[in-house]
Chain A
Amino acid sequence: MKAIKIFVVVFCLVGIFSGVGCKKFLDEKPISTLAPENFWKSETDATSWMAGIYNSVQTTLRTNWFDWGEVRSDNVRVGGTGNAQLTMITNTLSANDPDINGTTQWTELYTTISLCNYGIKYLQEMIDKNVEGKASLYQDYKGQCYAIRALMYFYGLRVWGRMPIHTEPIQSLAQPTELPRSPIADVKKRIQDDIAQSLNIIGSSTTQKYYMQKGAVYALQTDVHMWFQEYDDALTASQNFMSATGASWVSNITEWKDIFLNPVTSKEAVFNLFWSAPERGSAVGVCQKLGSSSNTNQYEIVTDIWLEFKNRIDPVTNKSSDGRYWALWDTVTYSDPAIYDAAVVQLGKFSPWRGTPGSGFTLQGNSDCDVKIPIYRYADVMLLRAEALAHKNRFQEALDIVNAVRNRVGYKVQAKLLDYTGDIMKGIERTILKERQLELIGEGKRWFDLLRIGSDYDYLREIMNPILTARQSQGAILFEGVNMGRVFYPINSAMFDANSKLRGDQNPPYDE
C-alpha cells in the first residue's frame, strides 16, 4: 500500500505543477509570420500592404492580361505547340481543362480583391488614428485600393459576366463565405462606386507610373463607360483623364518605344505594371506568349497585321513609313509575307532594339522576362475618346486623334472626313478600331474591343466567325446559336466545387 501512496502523491504533485506551467509551455506564436493584430501600426505597414496588393495584381495579370484580353481575337495565331493555345484559338474552352485552368480560374483575381478589401477597411482605421501623421498618404493608398478593386471587377465582368461581389475582408469562417453571382447591373454599380470613391481620395501624381493615380482611374472610368456605350460619360471621363495625367503625344518612334521600355519618363505612359524578374523570382508572361529568346513563343501576331504596317507607305518614297513596323518586328528577318507566314514570329514590341531603331531586338528568356505591361496609356484612352466623339457626331475631332496617333510614329497619311460615305459614324469607328488594334497590339485590349462594339456581338461575329470557319478543321467553334455564350469564359469547375451558391450558374453552353 506504500507504493500506492507514493504513486498518488507524485501524481498529484505533477498535476498541480502542470496546471500552472502548461499554458505557457503550449503557447507557440508564429515565428516568421506576423499576427494581424500587430499590423496596421506604422507608415511602413501601409506601404508594404500596397506592395502586396500590386504584387497580387502582377500575379493576376501575369499571363491573363493576354489570355483574357487578346488571345481569342483576330490578332493572334498559334506559335508553339501546346494544347492550351489550340484550345484558345479554336474557341473550344471548357471549364475543366487542365491546360487552361490558370485562365478560367478567378482565384487570383479575387485574392487581389480580398487584399483591397483589407486595405479599404484597415487603412480607414489608420486614417482615423492619423498614424504617424500620415493620414493623407493613407487616403491615397485607400483610393488605390478602391481603384484596383474596380479594375479587378471590371476584368471579371468582361471575362465572365456576372460576378460574386465581396467587399469585406474575410477574417473568420463565421463570416458569410459563399456568395452567388450578382447581376451585371450590380457589378457595374460596384465598379462605378469604387471609381467614384477612389477619385475622391486618390493621389494625383503624374510621375508614379507604376501605381494607379487619378489619371489611371479616369482611364478606367473611360474604359468602363465605353464598355457600356455611355459616350457622354466617356467624354467627360476622358476629358478629366487628359487634365489629370498631363500626358501628351510622343514625337517619334524612339519615344514611342519608351512607353514600354522606360514608362517612368514617358510622356504617354499612365499606368504600367512594374516587373522585375530577380525581385519577384518569376517572369512576366510577355516573352513566353509573344517573343522569347529561350523558346518558341506560344502565340504570334497574324500576317495581316504585319502586312497592314508594312503597307503603310510614304507616297513619295514608296517605303514603309509607320515607325511601329520596325518597333514591333525585326523587319530584316521578316521581309516578306511568305517568310513571315512560315516563321514562328517574335514580337519585339516590348524589347529594346539591339542598336539603332530597326536593328532587331534583344529579347529576354521566358524565365527572366521583366516587361512592364502597360495597363492604361494615353493613346488607349484617347482612341476610346475618339470613338465616343464619333458616336457624338464629332467626326473631325475623332479623326484628329487618329491622325495624331499616326503622325507621331511617322505615318503621315491622314484620315480625312471627306473619304467617308454612307454610315460615316460606323466608317470612322472602324478606322479608330483598326488604329486601336494596331497601336495596342499585344497589350490585351483587342478581345474586349471585339465584344463591346455594336449590339449582340455583331462586330465580334463579323470579325471572328470567318477566322473560326477557316480553323474548323482544327475543331473550331463559331459564335452562333448556343455557342454565342462562348463570348464569356467558362467558370472553372473548381470554383463550383468550393462554392455551392455558384452551382447551376455556369455560363452556358459550358458545363460545370
Chain B
Amino acid sequence: MKLGCYMNKQLPLRIAATTARPNSRFQLFLLAFLLFSTGVFAQKTQVTGLVQDAKNNPLAGVNVNVKGTQTTVATDEAGKFSIEVPGRNSILVFSFVGYATREEKVGTRNTLNTTLELGTADLDQVVVIGYGTQKKRDVTGAISTVSEKTIDEKQPVTIFDALQGAAPGVRVMSTSGAPGEEADITIRGLSTLSDAGVRPLYIVDGVPMNNINAINPKDIASIEILKDAASAAIYGSRSANGVIIITTKRGGEGKPQVDVGYLRSHNWLSNRISQANRLQRQMFDRRGNLGLDPKPDDSTSFSRNSDNDYQDLITQTAVRNQVDLSVRGGNKSVNYYNSLQYLDETGIVISSYNKRFTLRTNVEYKPANRLTMVSRLNFSYQTKNNINEGNVIQQSLQRPPGMALYFPNGEYIYFNGGRRNPLAEAYLREDISKIYKGVLYQGLDYKILESLTFHADASADLTLERRTYFSSKFLTSSNPPINTGIDATIFPIRLQGNAFLTYKKLFKGSHNVTAMAGMNFEKNKREEANIEGSNFVTEAVTTLNAAGLFSLSDLYSKASASSLLGFYGRVGYDYKGKYLVNATIRRDGSSVFGPENRWGNFPSISAGWRFTDENFMSWATDVLTDGKLRASWGVTGNAAIGDYDAFQQFEFGTYFYNGVSGVRTSPRMGNSALKWEETTQTDIGLDLSFLGGRISFIGDYYVKNTEDLLYDFPLPNELGFPGKVRTNIGSIQNKGIELMVTAYPVRTKDWSWQTSANWSMIRNKILSIPADYIDDIWTVQQGKEAGNFFGYKYLGIYQYDQSNAYTDDYRTRLTPVFQKDAEGNLVIQKNMQPVLLGYTLPDGTAYSGVVRKLTTAGVVSKGGDVIWENIADDKGVYNGDIGNEDRQFLGHGQPRWSIGWSNNVTYKGFSLSFNIYGNFGNMVYNDNRRNLASFSNSNTTPDAYFILNMWKYPGQITDTYRGGDRSTDNMRRGGSQYLEEGWFVRLQTVRLGYEFPDRISKKAAMEDLNFFVYGTNLLTWTDYTGFDPEVGQRSVLKPGNDPGRYPRRTEVGFGLNITF
C-alpha cells in the first residue's frame, strides 16, 4: 500500500484529487452498511417482475443485476424476480446464457416485465489480441481464453496450475513437484529443437516477460492464448511458440469493493514408490548365500540395526497458508485496483518451503477529455529453499533401510558406507533463492479523432535474484571436512516501449475498417556476480566474508545485453460481420543475429466467414445460432538464443595456469550468419454455437512448419568447440487437431451444470536434419518425431547358463534340453547346474550345428542375464555381440494426445467444480529404478520388487535379472525393461463452495461470503511405477527421463472469501 501512495504522489495533483474521492465514498459506503445492519436503511425500492422468452415462456434462472453493484438475484421457476434497487436511476441488467443481455432502466416502475431474445452473449465478449482488442465474434485466428472464473475454481498457487488442462493445444509441463518450481507452457507442440526455444511469449498487460511465476493468479482478469500464426505474428520474432496474454484486473465504475480471502491447505506425498525394508535388504545381501546373516545387529552395528522408512522420514504434511486482500473501484475519470497476497507454503520434503508476497496496483485515469492514462505497478518477493534432490531424495531411495541415521547419543551419522544421511542433507544444506521483481508501467491513450487513437507506453521490468548456498562441513566427504558457500546474484533488467495508432471506422453502416500501426523497442541487460568460498571461520556465519578460501574461477561478475526493434501494422475489414479479413505485418530487428541477417518479416493473413448470416442458412437458426469458418496463414519467428551466439568470442576468468589467467576460444563457436527461425503456420478452424450459445464448439486443424531451426549443431569433436555452434539447420513439422466443446446441459433456477471438454492431438516430425544421431537414450532422426527413445529391447531373462544358445548365424535362439529323472524332474548336479543333453530348434527338432553364445560388450551372458534383442545389420547379418548397433526405437518421449475436462455444478448456494486432464501416448524412462538396481555401490538398495523377483537359481522364471552382478551390464541405460507407459489421467482439482445467502452475509455487513473446501491432485490413474508420470517433458530432444525428482503432492484445503 505504501507503494500505492508513492505512485499517487508522482501523478499530477488533479489526479491525486480524483483518486481521493473514492476513499470518501468508501467511508460513506461503510456508514451506509452500518445503518443498513441496524435496520434503518430505507431509501431502497423494491422492484418485481417477470422475464419471458419471445414465445412468452417464463425463463427461470435469469440473472438480474443492478448495474454497477453486486446486487444480483435470479428468476424463479415462474420467471419471476424481486430485487431491491438503490434509486429510480438504477439500471437492471438481465443476462442468461443463450440469450442476448438486456438492460432496463427502472424509472418510475415498480413492476418490470421484460422479454429476452435468443442471442449470443458469449460472442460479444471482448478478447484481448496483440496491441488491441476484438469482439470474440470477429476473431479470425485461433485464440483460447481462460477466464477469471476458471482460474478461481482451481485455487492455483501459480498461473501454471490454472492453465493445466484448461485449453486444447496448451500443455503445462513441470519437472518436479518442489514448491515454487517454475513450470513451462508449450503451445501446439515443440516446433524447435532447443529447450530454450519452446516457451511462448508472455505478455502481461502489454509488457513482455520471461517468466510469469511471480504473478498472483488472483490478479488475473483473463488469459488469452494466441495459438495460430495470424494471432501471434504481430509479435514477430518471438511468437513462433504462441503468445500468452495476461490481463490483470482493473477497477470498475462504482463504489469500492473490498475482497478478503484466506486459504489453508494440507499436502502430502501423493504416491509412494516401492522401496525395500530391512528384511528385503537382508534378502538382497544374502542372495548368493542362503542362511542367516552372521553379522551382528546390536547397537554398535550402525549399518544394520535400524529399519527406516525413508519416504516417510523425508516427507512431511506440508501446509499452505494464503491471505489475499484487494480493493477496487472508481468513477468516470479514474478507476483503481489494488491487491496484496501473501503465500506461505512448506514442501512435502522436509525443510523445503516457498514464500511469496505480491503487490499490484493498476490505476486508470483521464486527465483530459481525450486522454486516458494507465499506471501499473507490480512488485513481488519470493523466497524458497531448494532441496538437493540427489542427496536427499535419491540418496534416501538408495540407502539400505537397516542403516542407522543417528548415533546412540543422537548425533547424525553423516556417512556410512558411501551413503549420505538424507535428513542431515535436508537440514544442513541450505540453498535459498530470493527473487525480487518489480514491473513499472506507464501508458497513454489519446483520442486524436473519434476514429483515431494514439497509444504509447513504456515499462521497466527489474528482477534481482539472489541465491545463497551453504553446505555444512559435516556434509562433505572431504578430510579434513570443508564447508562451502555460494552467493550468486543475477540482475536482469528490461526496458521496453510501444507506440501505435489505431484507426476504426464503420462506413455506410456495414463496412467495418480497422487499422493499427506502431513500433516497439526493447533493451535487455543481464548482470551477474558470483562468489564462492570455502573453509569458513565459523559455521555460525554463512555470509561469504566468513569464508577462508576462495577459488579464483568462482569469483566473477559479468554482463550481457540484447536489443530488439519492431515495426508492426494490422488492417481489418469486415462486411456486416459476415465476411471478415485481417492482415498483419511485422518487421523485427534483433541484436542477437549476424549483422547481415538482423531483420526479419513476419506477415499473416486470416479470414472468417459467418455462414450462419447467409440467407441460405436461415432455416438452421433455431438450432445453429452462430457458425463461423476461419482460415489463417502466417509466419512467426523464434529468437530464443544466447545474446552472443553470432559472435566469435575469446573467454577468460576460469582458465588459470600457474598464476596467469588464461585466454582461450569460447567453447561455443560463433556463427555470424545466424538468422531467424521461421515458422509458417496454416490453421483452419470452425466455431459453432448451438441453441443460443448453450453448446459451443471450437475446432482447429493446423500445420506448423518450422524452417532454419535455431539448432545447437554438434561440431566435430576435433575442432576445439565442444560447446557446439548455433546454426539455422533443418526443419520440423507439427500437425494437430484441437477440439473443444462447452455446454450448459442443465440450467434451472436452482441447478446449473456447465461442462467443457477439450481434446488435442499432435504429431511432430523432423522433416530434415543434416545428420541423424543418437543422444544418450534418444534419437534425432529425419522423418521421425523428436524425443524418441532409442535403446536395447529387453526380451526376458536367460533361465539357465545354457539358455544363451543360438544357431551358427545367431538368427535363432535354441532351447536347451536337460536330463530329467523318471518323474520328469530336472537333475541338478552338485555344481548347481543341470545336465545338458542337447538343443532343439523352436519347431522342436534337434539342432546339431555349432552353438553360439551372445555376448554383451564382449562378455558371455549367463543364466539370470537379460536377453537383449539382437539386430541384424543392413545386410541381414547378425553379430554375436549386443552393442551399440543393437539399439532400436522403443517409444515416444512426448505425449501424443491430451484431454482436459472441467465441470461446474451449482445448486442454490452450493457449487461443485472438478477438473480432469490426461496425457497419452508417451513413455517414461524410470532411471531412478534402474539406478537403484545397478549395483554401482554395494549399499545401493534395489526396490522391493526387484529384490523379491531377481533371478536366484538356474531354471528360475522371472522378469528381473540377477542381483549384484555388473559384468554383463544388465542394467545398461537404454534397456527397455525400465521404459514404462507414461499415460495418465489426473483428477486435478475438486472444489466445493458454498455462498451464504444474502440475508446472512448482509447481516455481517458483507456483500458476499463464500466458503469452500478443495483438493488438488487427488487421484491419478497411471501404469507408471515411479513417483509421478509427469516428468521431464520440458526437454525437446530428451524428454521423459525420471532420475527420481521431487515428488508431487496431494493437497486438501479450505478457504473463505469475503467481499465488502
- The answer to whether B552 and A499 touch across the interface, beta carbons within 8 angstroms, is no
- 22 examples of A-B residue contacts, CB within 8 angstroms: A27-B591, A31-B559, A32-B558, A33-B649, A51-B658, A52-B655, A55-B662, A56-B664, A90-B859, A105-B717, A111-B720, A117-B720, A173-B725, A179-B716, A210-B658, A276-B659, A278-B549, A280-B552, A281-B554, A366-B478, A368-B478, A511-B883
B907 within 8 A of A: no
Question: Measuring CB to CB, which residues of chain B are less than 8 angstroms from any residue of chain A?
Answer: 418, 448-449, 451-452, 476-480, 482, 499, 501, 503, 505, 515, 517, 519, 521, 549-554, 558-565, 567, 569, 589-592, 598, 643-644, 647-652, 654-667, 669, 671-673, 714-722, 725, 727, 771, 773-776, 857-859, 881, 883-885, 934, 936-938, 966-968, 973
A431 within 8 A of B: no
Which residue in A7, A92, A108 is a CB contact (below 8 Å) of B859? A92
- The answer to whether A28 and B665 touch across the interface, beta carbons within 8 angstroms, is no
The distance in angstroms between the C-alpha atoms of A497 and B714, with both chains bound, is 8
Which chain B residues border A33 with CB–CB below 8 Å? 644, 647, 649-652, 666
Task: Tell me, rounded to whole Å, the shortest Cβ–Cβ distance linking A321 to chain B.
Answer: 32
- The answer to whether A11 and B517 touch across the interface, beta carbons within 8 angstroms, is yes
Which chain A residues border B563 with CB–CB below 8 Å? 25-26, 28
- The answer to whether A34 and B598 touch across the interface, beta carbons within 8 angstroms, is no
Which residue in A3, A29, A47, A98 is a CB contact (below 8 Å) of B503? A3
Closest 9 A-B residue pairs measured CB to CB? A114-B720, A475-B967, A52-B662, A51-B662, A52-B664, A365-B478, A32-B558, A497-B773, A475-B859
A434 within 8 A of B: no
- The answer to whether B589 and A2 touch across the interface, beta carbons within 8 angstroms, is no
- The answer to whether B715 and A177 touch across the interface, beta carbons within 8 angstroms, is yes
Counting residue pairs across A and B whose Cβ atoms lie within 8 Å, the total is 282
Task: Tell me, rounded to whole Å, the shortest Cβ–Cβ distance linking B537 to chain A.
Answer: 16
A20 within 8 A of B: no
A279 within 8 A of B: yes
- The answer to whether A499 and B716 touch across the interface, beta carbons within 8 angstroms, is yes
Q: A3-B448, A294-B477, A475-B968 are in contact. Are A54 and B482 (CB under 8 A)?
A: no
Q: A26-B598, A92-B857, A365-B478 are in contact. Are A31 and B560 (CB under 8 A)?
A: yes
Which residue in B482, B499, B664, B966 is a CB contact (below 8 Å) of A53? B664
Which chain A residues border B667 with CB–CB below 8 Å? 111
The distance in angstroms between the C-alpha atoms of A32 and B530, with both chains bound, is 14
- The answer to whether A83 and B658 touch across the interface, beta carbons within 8 angstroms, is no
Q: A14-B499, A48-B663, A56-B664 are in contact. List 20 more A-B contacts (CB 8 A).
A: A7-B517, A28-B562, A34-B649, A35-B647, A51-B658, A52-B655, A81-B936, A92-B859, A94-B884, A107-B717, A177-B715, A178-B716, A274-B657, A280-B552, A280-B553, A294-B478, A368-B478, A475-B967, A497-B775, A509-B881
Which chain A residues border B774 with CB–CB below 8 Å? 493, 497
Residue ID in chain A nearest B722 by CB atoms: A107
Question: Which A166-217 residues have C-beta < 8 A from chain B?
Answer: 166, 169-173, 177-179, 210
A79-116: CB near B (< 8 Å → 1, else 0) gives 00111001000111011111000000111101111110
Which chain B residues border A105 with CB–CB below 8 Å? 717
Which chain A residues border B559 with CB–CB below 8 Å? 31-32
- The answer to whether B658 and A500 touch across the interface, beta carbons within 8 angstroms, is no
Which chain A residues border B669 with CB–CB below 8 Å? 170, 173
A28-46: CB near B (< 8 Å → 1, else 0) gives 1111111110010000010
- The answer to whether A82 and B936 touch across the interface, beta carbons within 8 angstroms, is yes
- The answer to whether B452 and A293 touch across the interface, beta carbons within 8 angstroms, is no
Which chain B residues border A49 with CB–CB below 8 Å? 662-664
The distance in angstroms between the C-alpha atoms of A281 and B553, with both chains bound, is 6
A164 within 8 A of B: yes
Q: A18-B519, A26-B563 are in contact. Are A45 and B771 (CB under 8 A)?
A: no
- The answer to whether B660 and A498 touch across the interface, beta carbons within 8 angstroms, is no
Q: A14-B567, A92-B859, A278-B549 are in contact. Are A110 and B718 (CB under 8 A)?
A: yes
The distance in angstroms between the C-alpha atoms of A48 and B654, with both chains bound, is 12
Task: Tell me, rounded to whole Å, the shortest Cβ–Cβ distance linking A512 to chain B.
Answer: 6
Q: A15-B567, A26-B591, A281-B551 are in contact. Are A92 and B858 (CB under 8 A)?
A: yes
The distance in angstroms between the C-alpha atoms of A475 and B856, with both chains bound, is 10
A494 within 8 A of B: yes
Residue ID in chain B nearest A473 by CB atoms: B967
- The answer to whether A280 and B591 touch across the interface, beta carbons within 8 angstroms, is no
A118 within 8 A of B: yes
- The answer to whether A278 and B551 touch across the interface, beta carbons within 8 angstroms, is yes
Measured as residues with beta carbon below 8 angstroms from the partner, the interface class of chain A is 35 or more
Residue ID in chain A nearest B770 by CB atoms: A500
Residue ID in chain B nearest A294 by CB atoms: B478
The distance in angstroms between the C-alpha atoms of A413 and B517, with both chains bound, is 96
- The answer to whether A115 and B501 touch across the interface, beta carbons within 8 angstroms, is no
Which chain A residues border B660 with CB–CB below 8 Å? 47-48, 50-51
- The answer to whether B661 and A83 touch across the interface, beta carbons within 8 angstroms, is no
- The answer to whether A7 and B452 touch across the interface, beta carbons within 8 angstroms, is yes
- The answer to whether A179 and B718 touch across the interface, beta carbons within 8 angstroms, is yes
- The answer to whether A3 and B666 touch across the interface, beta carbons within 8 angstroms, is no
Task: Tell me, rounded to whole Å, the shortest Cβ–Cβ distance linking A239 to chain B.
Answer: 30
Task: Tell me, rounded to whole Å, the shortest Cβ–Cβ distance linking B723 to chain A.
Answer: 10
Which residue in A31, A106, A497, A512 is a CB contact (below 8 Å) of B885? A512
Which residue in B505, B565, B657, B771 is a CB contact (below 8 Å) of A26? B565
Task: Tell me, rounded to whole Å, the shortest Cβ–Cβ distance linking A83 to chain B.
Answer: 6
A6 within 8 A of B: yes
Residue ID in chain A nearest B450 by CB atoms: A3
- The answer to whether A55 and B717 touch across the interface, beta carbons within 8 angstroms, is no
Which chain A residues border B722 with CB–CB below 8 Å? 107-108, 111
The distance in angstroms between the C-alpha atoms of A45 and B452, with both chains bound, is 60
- The answer to whether B663 and A34 touch across the interface, beta carbons within 8 angstroms, is yes
The distance in angstroms between the C-alpha atoms of A365 and B479, with both chains bound, is 6
Q: A31-B559, A477-B858 are in contact. Are A110 and B720 (CB under 8 A)?
A: yes
Which chain B residues border A245 with CB–CB below 8 Å? none
Task: Tell me, rounded to whole Å, the shortest Cβ–Cβ distance linking A162 to chain B.
Answer: 13
- The answer to whether B967 and A90 touch across the interface, beta carbons within 8 angstroms, is yes
The distance in angstroms between the C-alpha atoms of A367 and B722, with both chains bound, is 24
Task: Tell me, rounded to whole Å, the shortest Cβ–Cβ distance linking A120 to chain B.
Answer: 13
The distance in angstroms between the C-alpha atoms of A45 and B720, with both chains bound, is 20
Which chain B residues border A281 with CB–CB below 8 Å? 551-554, 654
Residue ID in chain A nearest B649 by CB atoms: A33
Which chain B residues border A6 with CB–CB below 8 Å? 448-449, 452, 501
- The answer to whether A35 and B478 touch across the interface, beta carbons within 8 angstroms, is no
Q: A25-B565, A178-B716, A499-B718 are in contact. Are A52 and B591 (CB under 8 A)?
A: no
- The answer to whether B558 and A106 touch across the interface, beta carbons within 8 angstroms, is no
Which chain A residues border B480 with CB–CB below 8 Å? 293, 365
